[in-house]
Amino acid sequence: MKNHVTIKDVAKAAGVSAATVSYVLNQKSNQTISEDTKKRVMQAVKDLGYVPNSTAKTLKSHRTSCIGIAIDKALTIPRYAETVQGIRTYLEENHYTSLLLPSMEQGGLPLYLSAYFENKVDGIIYVCADSNNLDRKIERFIIERKIPFVTFDHMPNPEISSVNIDYLTGAKDLTQLLIQKGYRRLHYIRPNNGTRQEWERERGVRLAVSSFPNASLTVHNLEFESSGGNFQMFMDFASEQEKKELFQYRKALRQILETIVPFLDPEDALILSWSGMEQIALPMLTQFHKENAVAVLAKGLLSVMFRKKLYYSYLPNYQSGRKCAEILLKSLRQAVSPEHIIVLPTLARHLD
């Protein structure tokens, strides 16, 4: 049944003008309205079951109060779920909704841009994954048409607002902690790909080791074929192709660990680039009765309380999502120069 209650009905019930009802519902800050009046209006809205006409509001203001989140990764992967939750929480606190949008093209444009031009969203937050950076032509299109746009974990463009994680500092700080705790021989296991994130992590590890003359580093590249599968997701949610890649990934990781773990000395430590690697490394350490430190350059599924000598560099995904939403809403309220925010990871360790 359609809602036939109008704003005039609400005004009559509250004993105010229709304009006052509109000011209260739209939270106009340039109007002085008493708290008592606001309460009467909201009580009338509740009693009458009034629902604002969002379509008419959008046509009048050219605003939808909805932000598009362009993301192609599974939300069963914790880091992407945390990022989206951070975006959603900030938007909802500021009376905005969100819409998940894919990057696939239709009519020559990615669907998230089509949604903007179809007036479905007021702006876009692009969550980059697997180094799927925007095409330069798309970047130029966004800049020239002044589309409200923020990228996360993306190669920065000075003309587009961005939020990025400082992988280098996170890796450097965690490596330094290991060395300061007495671990002198470090084994760093990383995927064999050329993404910016992996390059920054390895550089951070190497910088930390270079500061300590008595420390040594061996880098082990994880060789396996990948199309960008979700290697942190649960097997139950994986497609057949992803299950195949998960098997290859785990097999390659075990092969490397089998050449390292049996020969570890007390001064040795493992540094793992990806979340989830510790779920294979820790059982193997137990198998060979080793108690060496394990450090992961991302937040994993295990708590640091699970085991002594387990360390994480927690990626600030939730905080980064909130910051993306904050920057985008700011750009909708006023013309501002592009912002570029770098967020630092935090170290998590057992209370030992």
Q: Would 7-52 and 167-314 be classified into the same CATH topology?
A: no
User: Are 131 and 123 spatial neighbours (Cβ–Cβ below 8 Å)?
Assistant: no
Is the sign of the CA dihedral 73, 336, 346, 206 positive or negative?
Answer: positive
Query: d(Cα 8, Cα 5) in Å, to the nearest integer?
Result: 8
CATH for 7-52, among 3.40.640.10, 3.30.1300.10, 1.10.260.40, 3.30.365.10? Answer: 1.10.260.40
Query: d(Cα 327, Cα 78) in Å, to the nearest integer?
Result: 23
Instruction: For 123, list phi and psi in degrees, rounded to 5.
Output: -175, 175
What are the pLDDT digits (tens) for 45-99?
Answer: 888 877 666 544 544 445 689 999 999 887 878 889 999 999 999 999 999 999 9
User: What confidence category does residue 234 fall into, taking pLDDT thresholds of 50, 70 and 90?
Assistant: low
What confidence score (pLDDT) does residue 59 get? Answer: 44
Fold of 167-314: Rossmann fold (3.40.50)
3-state secondary structure of 318: helix
Its pTM stands at: 0.79
DSSP characters over 296-316 = ESS--SS-GGGSTTEEEEE--
CB crowding 138-155: b at 16 or more within 10 Å, else e: bbeebeeeebbbbbbbbe
3-state secondary structure of 161: strand
- Token couple for 137: 């032509």
Of 257, 276, 249, 273, which is closest to residue 199 (Cα–Cα)?
Answer: 273
Q: Which residue has the tokens 């060789």?
A: 223
Q: What CATH number belongs to 66-165+318-344?
A: 3.40.50.2300
3-state secondary structure of 7: helix
What confidence score (pLDDT) does residue 29 get? Answer: 59
Indicate if the pLDDT at residue 3 is higher than 70: no
Query: d(Cα 124, Cα 21) in Å, to the nearest integer?
Result: 31
Query: d(Cα 347, Cα 300) in Å, to the nearest integer?
Result: 12
Number of CB atoms found within 10 A of residue 107's CB: 7
What are the pLDDT digits (tens) for 189-199?
Answer: 998 887 889 99
Relative orientation angle of helices 240-260 and 278-287, to the nearest 10 degrees: 40
| Boundaries of every domain in the chain | 7-52, 66-165+318-344, 167-314
What are the pLDDT digits (tens) for 307-332?
Answer: 889 999 999 999 999 999 999 999 99
User: Are 188 and 176 spatial neighbours (Cβ–Cβ below 8 Å)?
Assistant: no
Q: Which range among 139-153, 238-252, 291-305, 314-328 shows the weakest confidence by mean pLDDT?
A: 238-252
